[in-house]
Structures are given as structure tokens and as C-alpha cells.
Amino acid sequence: MNLELCVLASGSSGNASLLRAGPDAILIDAGIGPKTTDRRMTGTGLDLSSIRGIILTHLDGDHINPAWFRVMLRQNIRLFIPRNQLKLLRRLARLEDVLKPMMQLTSLFDQEVFYPLPMVACTPVRLPHDKKGSFGFVLQSQQTRVGYATDFGRAPPELVELFAGAGILAIESNYDPEMQLQSRRPERLKKRIMGGLGHLSNTQALELVQRILDRTQAKYGPEHQLHHVVLLHRSRQCNCPIKLRAVFQTDERIAPILTLSHQFQRTEWLGAPDREALPGEQLNLFAVVAQ
């Protein structure tokens, strides 16, 4: 079964990506509410009823919107969260008065493999981000390997090893260092973001993708194909698409397969090329705008 990724929203106002396996889908992060998600899914060929599970990278406010809890209970959507962030989930669920039933839907992970869908294995990798950290994932079906990592200040070697061989890479590229330093943000915030426990800069994101590509080549040979690199969590205040593209333009392996995600519009489905459209799906809807 082929896996495909569609980033519905990415940035500090809310993150959510859809991963599709046949008629079923899971969300990676649910930082925009169910209504916005439903609207954003228009044209994907799927709707809220296709969502079987939600995996959270971490529980910051831009990665989980508590309005999801009631929808999850209604539709029996399973939730997968990092074990070390259970307290936070309990607090959020208690505020919504759904603590007990939510706990029944919730599974905890650390670094062990779990299955958010029957034919899809998810391998988590711990990433440095603030106090509690964040998690990246490799989602793997028989045909496709997808690497997904957002909200981390530095890339550990395990991430490169795990993401090697992916056909689709979704990696955060948060800020341009010059714009960050010149911004009117408080010094403390700048330090947090740039200090190794915050976010990746454009250059750091490029270097990471290059390391993954090099490792892929060493492990699987030159014929292995990377189909898509999608950049996540671009700061609207301290980054800009032109600067970001200029950084990635320097590598001709990556430039032609690059997609920028957005805060307020979704990407198209990213997967292996030449597949058939789903019923109700508008192919290449944002191809022009997004480039």
C-alpha cells in the first residue's frame, strides 16, 4: 500500500498533516480544530470520517487543539502521544471534562514501534525541543517510507539513520537566522529558538536533508528515489519563502522535489508519482500557488 502525505497546516498557529493509506488516514498533530481541518480537507478526496488515528509529536498548543477530543470520542479515533507528556494530556482532557473516555482511546509511545493503522508501522525518534522534547516519526508501509520531523533544535544521528531510505521527507525549516536576530522578539525567545532546544534554521534543515540523502545513497545505492521534500513550520515573522527556496536551490538533488507547506492552505497530496486520483479529489489544486 502506498502512503501519501498532505500538510493541512504548518506553523506556530497550528500544525496538522494527513497521512493516507488507501481509504484510511491518520493525522500527525492536530493543532487546528476539527472544523478547520474538515474545511482544509476539501478536494483531498477524504473527509473527517476517514481519520482513524491521531499521532502527536508533542503537546504544545500549536500541535493539539482540545476541540478534537469530542470528535475523537464520537468517531472512535485513537490517540498516540509521547509517554512523557501524559500529564499534559490529562490536564487538557480534564478541562474538557472527557478525561476518562479519552484515556481509553489513548496509547503511549516512547521509542518502540506502534501501528496507527493495521498496515502502517510508526517508529518514533526522540528530538530535542524545550523541556519535554518532541518526536519525529518514520511511517512505513510495504511500499512507502515517510520521514516526519518538526519542532527540534538539533538533529540527532539516530534521526538521520532512521530517515535514510524515505521516499517522502517532511522536515521543519523554521527560521532565517538574520531575520531572527533582527526581529523585535525578546532576546530570551531568540535564544530559546536558536539554542539547540528550539527550532531548525533553513541552513540546518538543508544540512539535515543532505545528510539523510548521503546516508540513503550509502545504504541503498544511487537508484533509491526520494520523491518529495516538504518543509514544515516556517516562521511567518522570521522566515520568507524566497530566502528559504534560495537556500534549498543550492542542491540540485533537492530543488526540483521541494514543497513549501503553509499556515493557511494545504499542500497537494505528496506521494509516488503517476497515481490515480481519488473520487472527489482535485489534483494539483495549489500547485501554482504553492510553488
Length of the chain: 291
Check if the beta carbon of residue 54 is closer than 8 Å to that of residue 89.
Answer: no
The only residue of 4, 24, 29, 62 in contact with Zn ion, by rule CB under 5 A: 62
* Sign of torsion over alpha carbons 108, 114, 116, 118: negative
Shortest reach from residue 62's CB to Zn ion, in Å? 4
Q: Compose the 69-98 pattern: x for residues touching Zn ion by CB under 5 A, - for all others.
A: ------------------------------
At 74, which helix (H) or strand (E)? helix 68-75
Q: Which residue type sits at 158?
A: E
User: Residue 24 or 151: which CB sits closer to Zn ion?
Assistant: 151
CA distances from 231 to 25, 67, 132, 165, 280 (A): 21, 26, 23, 18, 26
The only residue of 4, 24, 29, 151 in contact with Zn ion, by rule CB under 5 A: 151
If binding is defined by CB under 5 A, does position 172 make contact with Zn ion?
Answer: no
Stretch that binds Zn ion, among 18-26, 62-70, 77-85, 86-94 (CB under 5 A): 62-70
- Other CB atoms within a 10 A radius of the CB of residue 227 amount to 14
The torsion angles phi and psi of 279, rounded to 5 degrees, stand at -60, 135
Interface with Zn ion: number of residues (CB under 5 A): 2
Shortest reach from residue 233's CB to Zn ion, in Å? 6
Rounded Cα distance, 90 and 99, in Å: 6
User: Residue 71 or 149: which CB sits closer to Zn ion?
Assistant: 149
Specify the DSSP class assigned to residue 265: S
Stretch that binds Zn ion, among 39-47, 119-127, 148-156, 236-244 (CB under 5 A): 148-156
Stretch that binds Zn ion, among 140-148, 149-157, 215-223, 251-259 (CB under 5 A): 149-157
Stretch that binds Zn ion, among 143-151, 223-231, 237-245, 263-271 (CB under 5 A): 143-151
For Zn ion, the binding residues (CB under 5 A) are 62, 151
